[in-house]
Amino acid sequence: MDAILNYLNMDGYAAWVWPAYGLATVALVGILVQTRRTLKTREREFETLKSSRRGGQA
């Protein structure tokens, strides 16, 4: 059990390491959410353009 606690303490750097991991995780999740929203928006725009082009040529 002491080995796990020593690892989690990171030789005294835990106060810097764990918040850095947390901030990185929050940033990556935010980027993922923004990317997925943008993708869905672009897919809807693409479908609109595609359907309007088909309608203009028919």
What sections of 1-58 are H helices per DSSP?
2-9, 14-57
Mean pLDDT, the chain, rounded, equals 92
pLDDT at residue 27 in the model: 98
Digit-coded pLDDT (tens) for 16-36 = 999 999 999 999 999 999 999
CA distance 5 to 15: 14
pLDDT at 9 over 50: yes
- Domain edges within the chain: 22-58
CA distance 50 to 19: 46
Token pair for 26: 């929050």
What is the Cα gyration radius of the chain? 23
Phi and psi at 13, nearest 5°, equal -95, 10
